[in-house]
Structures are given as C-alpha cells and as structure tokens.
Amino acid sequence: MTRPSTPSDTIRLTGITATGYHGVFDFEKREGQIFTVDAELSLDFRAAGRSDSLGDTVSYVGVAELIEAAITGDPFDLIEALADHLARDILRTDERLISAEITVHKPQAPLTQSFGDVAVVARRTRADLESTVGAEWLVDTEPMLNPQQTPSQEVHAVLALGSNLGDSAATLESAVAALSESEAVCVVAQSPLALTAPVGGPEGQPDFLNQVIQVATRLSPHGLLELTQQVEQAHHRARGAQNGEIRWGPRTLDIDIITYAGFQVSTPLLQIPHPRAAQRGFVLVPWSWMDPQATLEGHLVADLAAVAADAAHVRRADAANVPDAAEVRGRRPRS
C-alpha cells in the first residue's frame, strides 16, 4: 500500500503594511514610503490540528513582527533583496518550516507611468539556506544560536557606536566606560574615532562620530542587546517615533551589535551579523583600523571597507579637535 506523503500545509499572512526606506534613490531613503508584504509559509501542522496547541505550530504573530521589523528596519536598495532577506530569516526561525514565499509590494514606486502596484516574489526552501547560487556572500556558514542562551565561556562581540548630538567624543568615551563597568563585559579593543557624514535622514544634521569596539562577554545576545540599550538610554537616547526619534536623524548615542562570536541570530529584536554592516563604510573603516585582519561573513573587513559606497567620506578624527555639532551643522549628507 502506498504511504501518504507528508502534507504541506499553509500559513498565509497578507497585507502587512508599514513605512520603509528602501530604494536606490536618496529621496526614497530620506522620505520613506509604504511597503506591503504577503507571506505564505509551508509546513506540516497535523500535530497542531490534533493537539490544538500553539507549541505544535509556527506562531504567525512572531512572523508578522519579523516582517514589520524588516520593512521598517535598515534600508535595502532593492525590494528583491528585502524579499530574499525576509524569506531566509523566516525559514531560520523554525525548522518545521518547509518553504517561504514572500511578496513585497511597492505601490508608491517612483515610476512616471500610471500603475497600480510593483511587486516581487521570492520563494525559498530550506535548501536555499545553504545555496551559493548567484552570490557567494549569501552562504550561511555561521551556526544559529538561541538569542537568550548564555555562553558557557567568554565570547567576543563587535559593537559599532555613533553620536552626532552634544559632545559626541565625550559621549562615546562615556558609553565605552559604561559597557566596561558591567561585570559581564570587558572592552578588549577600540578603534580610533571616525568623523562621517550622516547617511539618509533629514538634511543639515551634524556629522557623526563613529567608533567600533570589541568586547569579551558572558552575556547572551539578547542580554548584550539589553545592556547596550540601557547605555543608550543613560545617554538620553529616545527610541522609536512615538518618543520623538526621527529615522536616521540626529541622536546622542547609537550602539549596534555587529557580530557575536561567529554565531547567527535572527529574531524580531536582533539580527546578527548586522544585516547591513557589510555595506556601511562608517562601520567597516574604523573596524579595519582596529583590526586589519578582521573578517565578516568570510570576507576581510578591510576589503569590504575598500568598496563601501561611503568609505571615501570616513576620516579619522582626533578627539581633541573634533568640530562642535554647530560647526558641522548644515553640511550636506553624502548620498
């Protein structure tokens, strides 16, 4: 007798809508526009059908949160890249998922013609998580890690800091000291300060001071995130539009986790390695100053820095001679 095949059941989310800043044009990254995402997830939920237990299926709440975070998060030039990123990240959240089909709609795309919608569709399976087709850097060689898992021994993480309000040099120095004061964190290396023009956001804001540091820690990834956000808050960072924060606008302090011991983390709260670090000269350049042999996803950081679009605008800054915010206010941001 022929045995029945494993069913491919479906969870479908449609019309998840938020404002994002994706696009190849400067005004798209500056002003933002509406994006809508549909997701169709294939899995076997016979066990959930019998048990009526959430633990036997994939929570669509978590998937919706991840989609919204991707729409409103770091910008991609192409909606194809956003769709690919989302499909892969959703598959990584639960091994029970067989495939993910993501449709990204861009109804306000900058076309001169009359049109109803522009959309792209990415279909990915678990096999695609190991695929090297089309782009070598998409290989997922880093093991996944439970973001709440405390390491059994000290691990190293790389953090990127930035500030462009107030005395930014003093703020970065204070932030590094605050991280060092935690019993679970030891700062083991620091880059020189870098003076960089802001990317995106409102015109006329001050240049940033950026710095990259390496820490040794016994905190879990989410524990380290909580600590960095506490340090941001202590330096008067107000997160979120509801607290008056302007996207890519001026801020007293920003701390991003770039890498964590070679592990990969993918949750609505945290993406490690940082999904846009490989294109950010204001991260890559000072990181390469700190550690010329550092690597990111199998590539030498110094090589990534050499081809980053904004790398030519990143320069070393002597903390004793950093211009006041008032002196650099009004400089046009680089594209």
pLDDT band at 38, cuts 50/70/90? very high
The mean pLDDT of the chain is 82
Helix/strand/coil for 218: coil
Identify the CA nearest to 74 among candidates 315, 298, 308, 256. Answer: 256
* Catalytic residue set: 106
pLDDT at 95: 85
* pLDDT at residue number 238: 52
Provide the pLDDT for residue 200: 53
Q: How far is CA 94 from CA 3, 55, 58, 141, 270, in A?
A: 26, 11, 7, 17, 16
| Predicted pLDDT of residue 203 | 58
pLDDT bin (cut points 50, 70, 90) of residue 19 is: very high
Terminal-to-terminal C-alpha distance of the chain: 65
pLDDT at 110: 92
Look at residue 145 in the predicted model and tell me its pLDDT.
63
Read off the DSSP letter of residue 268: S
- Is the confidence at residue 241, as pLDDT, over 80? no
Q: Which residue has the tokens 């782009």?
A: 135
- Domain residue extents for the chain: 9-138, 155-328
Contacts of 155 (CB under 8 A, 6+ apart): 216, 217, 218, 260, 261
Report whether pLDDT(202) > 50: yes
CB atoms within 10 A of CB 144: 14
* d(C-alpha 236, C-alpha 203), whole Å: 22
The pLDDT tens digits for 147-184 are 666 777 889 999 999 998 889 999 999 999 999 999 88
Residue 48 has pLDDT above 70, yes or no: yes
At residue 267, the pLDDT reads 76
Residue 113 DSSP symbol: S
Would you state the pLDDT for residue 146? 67
If one compares 216 and 128, the residue with the highest pLDDT of the two is: 216
| Nearest-angstrom CA–CA distance, 100 and 94 | 11
Most confident of the ranges 38-52, 235-249, 268-282:
38-52
Is residue 144's pLDDT more than 70?
no
CA dihedral 51, 53, 58, 59 (to 10 degrees): 150
Residue 161's closest CA among 215, 218, 205, 201? Answer: 215
pLDDT of amino acid 97:
92
**CA-closest candidate to residue 104, choices 84, 125, 123, 79:** 79
Residue 1 makes CB contacts below 8 A (sequence gap 6+) with none
| Architecture of the 155-328 domain | 2-Layer Sandwich (3.30)
Specify the amino acid at residue 62.
G
Do 9-138 and 155-328 agree at the fold level?
no
> Considering the domain 9-138, what is its CATH architecture?
2-Layer Sandwich (3.30)
Give residue-wise pLDDT tens across range 303-335: 999 988 888 889 998 744 444 433 433 333 333
